[in-house]
A and B are shown apart, each in its own frame.
Chain A
Amino acid sequence: MNEEEIIASGILELYVCGSLSEDEIHEVEVAIDKFPNLKKEIEIIESSLINLAENVSPPLASLVWTYILNAIHSASNGGSSGTNEKSFNWAGVSGWAAAILLLGGLFWAMNQKSTLEKQVDYTTTENEALEEELQTTEKELLTTENVLAVLRSDSFDKVILPGNDAVAPEASAKIFYNKEDGIAYIDAEGLPTPPEGKVYQVWSLIMEPLTPSSMGLLEELSAVKSNLYKFEQFPAAEGFGITLEPEGGSETPTLSQLYVLGTVSQP
């Protein structure tokens, strides 16, 4: 069909009226692309029909526009006034709700994570402390077993050092002495706590003639347990004495401060 035939067929009037099927609408649109003049014809038909319909219209109150404006405003404000219920933005609202939930979830998860991390930290510290404690205990146990071995051993002689009546009659000390290996354990349980600025010094004694040699001080360094001290590598002894000396110890024993004294029993 050419331009005139299309116009004469009356299909353009039906196109404007909306009386055509999808296929026929498509036909007209293809024709409009082909013959641009058809658009002019369609515009004239449309204007004619609008003119006719306007004349059929009763007077139109200007208030109608106000109502429409109010309705689309309340719809966009999320209000519901009957006509705009469908336009309520559920997608938007549920989107925000999902976002808020997600955010809340994230915060919760982060909170959980930091709590767990703290717990892990705490547990790690606790583990370290327990391990240390275990090592200490194991060490102590070993020491105790060693001490027990010493007490049971035949190679150690037990030497009782009674208190010097002149200085400290109540004091006493015990020494476990291994002559062969030159090892002595001193149990100072029976000695009073030394006064400030003073320290106990242990001496090994040779009796004929009386020769004291310093074995060392009863101090932290030589302690194996509380009030139990170990000394090694000292001259062979026939007896032991403990004196109270100024801090740091002395070259020779201060005999006026001899607290305890005892001799190794001869086999």
Chain B
Amino acid sequence: MEQPDLLILQMQQRNEKAFERLYSMYSEAIHGIIYSIVLDEAVAEEVLQDTFIKIWNNAEAYDIKKGRFFTWILNIARNTAIDKTRSKSFKNTKKNLTTTNFVDILTSYDNLNSKTNAIGIKKFVDKLKPMCISVIELLFFKGYTQKDAAKELEIPLGTLKTKNRNCLRDLRWLVIGPQ
């Protein structure tokens, strides 16, 4: 998907319609990331709200020439979600849920409730090796730097990079079709 630069510029000029379009384009993915961190639907929605309010309030901070818009909002979402998990109220209610990863979440969903390409995604995750799950979980969902992820998984940096790419290779077929 090409980045909607026009909408982003309009949002930066305080255009609510543009902001709404961007919300409908990115909110579900951002919600998925947030949910994988907080693992609570009500809390995830709350964090999603805060995230998009931050995006609106700090819209000028994003520079179209530097980095992807998705990467920028991804960082805001992860940081907001992680801040939430560190809050007292959250710690009191949620414990020992940290072992759940994105694959556990995906497989827990009822097929009937899921999206159009859910079957393809399910096939994708079914084939994922445990190392791939960890790499994607840390780099994409948890926002680890490659150095921290390499340390956590005890693999060299170069290996981590190519492993991540290979793990995600099958995912691209779902988007663009086999080539």
Contacts and interface: CB of A to CB of B under 8 A. Distances in A.
B62 interface: no
B3 A56 contact: no
A199 to B, nearest CB: 96
Interface stretch (A3-11, A99-107, A177-185): A3-11
Contacts of B2: 43
B31 A57 contact: yes
A25 interface: yes
Given A48-B174, A54-B28, A59 B113 contact: yes
Nearest to A11: B161
Contacts of A75: 53, 57
A49 B161 contact: no
A84 B53 contact: yes
A86 interface: yes
A50 B66 contact: no
B145 A21 contact: yes
B26 A55 contact: no
Q: How large is the interface on B (under 10, 10 to 19, 20 to 34, 35 or more residues)?
A: 35 or more
A71 B48 CA distance: 13
A67 B3 CA distance: 26
A20 interface: yes
A46 interface: yes
B60 interface: no
B13 to A, nearest CB: 13
A264 B117 CA distance: 147
Contacts of A46: 1, 68, 70
A55 B118 contact: yes
Contact of B168 (A8, A48, A56, A64): A48
A243 B102 CA distance: 137
Contacts of B16: 69, 72
B117 A51 contact: yes
Contacts of A8: 162, 165
Candidate in A18, A43, A45 with the most chain B CB atoms within 10 angstroms: A18
Given A17-B71, A46-B70, A54 B29 contact: yes
B146 interface: yes
A10 B171 contact: no
B113 A52 contact: no
Interface string B47-62: 0111011001100000
A54 B35 CA distance: 11
Interface in A203-239: none
Given A48-B171, A56-B105, A64 B33 contact: no
Contacts of B26: 50
B61 to A, nearest CB: 13
B85 interface: no
Contacts of B29: 49-51, 53-54, 57
A98 interface: no
Contacts of A9: 158, 161-162, 165
Contacts of A58: 31, 35, 41, 44
A61 interface: yes
Interface in A72-108: 72, 75, 83-84, 86-87
Contacts of B136: 52
24 contacts: A9-B161, A15-B68, A16-B68, A16-B71, A19-B143, A19-B145, A19-B146, A25-B67, A44-B176, A48-B174, A48-B175, A49-B29, A49-B70, A53-B29, A54-B28, A55-B121, A58-B41, A60-B28, A64-B48, A65-B23, A67-B49, A71-B49, A72-B16, A83-B50
